[in-house]
Structure 1
Amino acid sequence: MFRAETSRDTLITTAYRLHRTRWRILEPYRRLKNALKKLQEDYLKSKEANALMRYVKLGQSVREVAMLEKQYWKMLNIPAQEGNEDANCYVVKIIELLEETPTQLPPTRGIGALLQSTIGKPAESNVDTALYDSLKARKSEDLVKECEALYAQLYRLTKKYLGLRRLIKELHDKYDASRMFPIVPRYAMLKKMIKATLRAPEFADICHEQTE
């Protein structure tokens, strides 16, 4: 991936951009993953309740997860990989896209909007400085290895994030479509949509994940 003549500055900058992009995706990814894991826990606990209480609990649990689909400021809009697109080229595209995309804030007005625009910036700047200094202290051969590993990690993370986004979108649409049904058929619909979500390969691959 990296040629022998690749400059040290290029390696440092590349590693820095890869780290920053990975951190940017990790936050919404963890939010989706944790929401689905909570749905799984709630579903198992609901089996202890009677039918009516279970219906209520399942509806609440699905609604909490489905609401994430509407909270656009907590998510990232990342395009899917095109059919013939190289993995590394795709990662570069994601990096460039997110670097051009400002962090979205929840809709608010007045002094709240002003405060949100400044909160967190000093801390974020300190983290960036620490990361850059850490990278500058490493040997060039170590930077090459780190960049190659980060390309692979970022590619996998992006694919997992998009998979969970798809699950949340499908769950949201199914939940929305079920709202006008009477209790008895809707109870069965809620159980079915939860099972379909928890048995999907996208969730099965990450439900026991400990590293991200």
Structure 2
Amino acid sequence: MPKIACPYENIIQIAASTNLVGKFTQSVRRIVQDVKDEGTASGQTKEEVIETNERLRAVRIRLDASYETAKRALVDLMMKYTDSKQVRNIFQRYNLLKVMIKDVIKLETQYWTLVDIPRQEKQETVPVFVLRACAIMEKTHKSGEGVKTSARLAEEAESKRERIDRLENLTTVQIETENTQMTNDLYRLLKKYTGLRNLIRDLKAHDDLIRNCFNVSI
């Protein structure tokens, strides 16, 4: 029986000799990967997980600054309180306490109003709670944000492009893994942050009680 030539044989041979098969294989793999990247177990597309990554990153930076501000204020308060114990005169010591407490509770009106964290609902998962907290912080951040210079805006735009380029080179699954870690880290920071803010609120709420304890009228 005569051999029947395959109509694609010459094309395959030419492709093999010019390494087109390898390139074609890479292209097919890329297409398959792109199909996988159209969505994840969470139902998000690659664009959506990149957006989530950006949101988590921005809020983390903001929350880090807020947490450090609160922590410094409370540490400073404790140091001043320890020093005040050396003052024997109760009136002088009261005045010192009054000033140091007011320095801290000023944050409630001058700073903390820009960052209001909600309570976590009993049935609320960590990712849902974190994203809800992010949404609230994003809104308050915009209202309290100062005017930025053109140079600062250009610098931020360039930095964002670099971050997006890095994420674009990752798969959706890789970005989601990164987002999960960021979410867990942010959740822990939110809890610590809320604890410090509650301490400051307690100081404000008990300011009158502290005055009564010293039985001094202002």
State the TM-score, normalized to the length of structure 1: 0.67
Report whether the alignment pairs 1:136 with 2:136: no
Q: Using a 3 Å threshold, how does the CA distance of structure 1 residues 57 and 102 change in structure 2: closer, same or farther? A: closer
Trace 1:179-198 onto structure 2 (pairs within 5 A).
Answer: 179=211, 181=212, 185-186=213-214
Paired residue for 2:101, among 62, 70, 80?
A: 62
**Other-structure match for 1:25:** 63
Cα separation, 2, equivalents of 1:121 and 1:159: 36
Q: Using a 3 Å threshold, how does the CA distance of structure 1 residues 15 and 170 change in structure 2: closer, same or farther? A: same
Cα separation, 2, equivalents of 1:26 and 1:96: 16
**Other-structure match for 1:103:** 142
Cα separation, 1, equivalents of 2:150 and 2:136: 21
Q: Which has the larger radius of gyration?
A: 2
Mapped contact 1:28–1:74 kept (Cα < 8 A): no
Paired residue for 1:156, among 185, 188, 199?
A: 188
Mapped contact 2:114–2:141 kept (Cα < 8 A): no
Deviation at 1:166, TM superposition (A): 1.4
Cα separation, 1, equivalents of 2:158 and 2:85: 50
1:186 partner amino acid = F
- The two structures, once aligned, show a CA RMSD in angstroms of 3.0
Deviation at 1:104, TM superposition (A): 3.5
Q: Using a 3 Å threshold, how does the CA distance of structure 1 residues 171 and 129 change in structure 2: closer, same or farther? A: same
Q: Using a 3 Å threshold, how does the CA distance of structure 1 residues 178 and 41 change in structure 2: closer, same or farther? A: closer
Cα separation, 1, equivalents of 2:137 and 2:43: 28
Mapped contact 2:56–2:183 kept (Cα < 8 A): yes
**Other-structure match for 1:171:** 203
Cα separation, 2, equivalents of 1:6 and 1:45: 55
Mapped contact 2:50–2:164 kept (Cα < 8 A): yes
Mapped contact 2:81–2:97 kept (Cα < 8 A): yes
Instruction: Count residues in correspondence.
Output: 173
Per mean C-alpha deviation after superposition, the further-off stretch among 153-162 and 51-60 is 51-60
Mapped contact 2:77–2:101 kept (Cα < 8 A): yes
Give the 3-state SS of the residue equivalent to 1:22 in structure 2.
helix
Q: Using a 3 Å threshold, how does the CA distance of structure 1 residues 36 and 102 change in structure 2: closer, same or farther? A: closer
Larger RCO: 1 or 2 (CA < 8 Å, sep 6+): 1
**Other-structure match for 2:32:** none
Summarize deviations over 1:153-186 as a string: whole Å, max 9, x none: 111122222222211111111113443x3xxx32
Summarize deviations over 1:54-107 as a string: whole Å, max 9, x none: 3332222112112222225663122111111111111121223333445344xx
Report whether the alignment pairs 1:49 with 2:87: yes
Q: Using a 3 Å threshold, how does the CA distance of structure 1 residues 7 and 186 change in structure 2: closer, same or farther? A: same
Give the 3-state SS of the residue equivalent to 1:83 in structure 2.
coil
State, as a whole percentage, how many aligned pairs show the same letter.
27
Cα separation, 2, equivalents of 1:142 and 1:29: 29
Per mean C-alpha deviation after superposition, the further-off stretch among 166-175 and 142-151 is 142-151
Summarize deviations over 1:14-63 as a string: whole Å, max 9, x none: 21111011122222222211111111111222233333443332222112
Cα separation, 1, equivalents of 2:138 and 2:164: 19
Mapped contact 1:80–1:162 kept (Cα < 8 A): no
Give the 3-state SS of the residue equivalent to 2:115 in structure 1.
coil
Cα separation, 2, equivalents of 1:99 and 1:81: 17
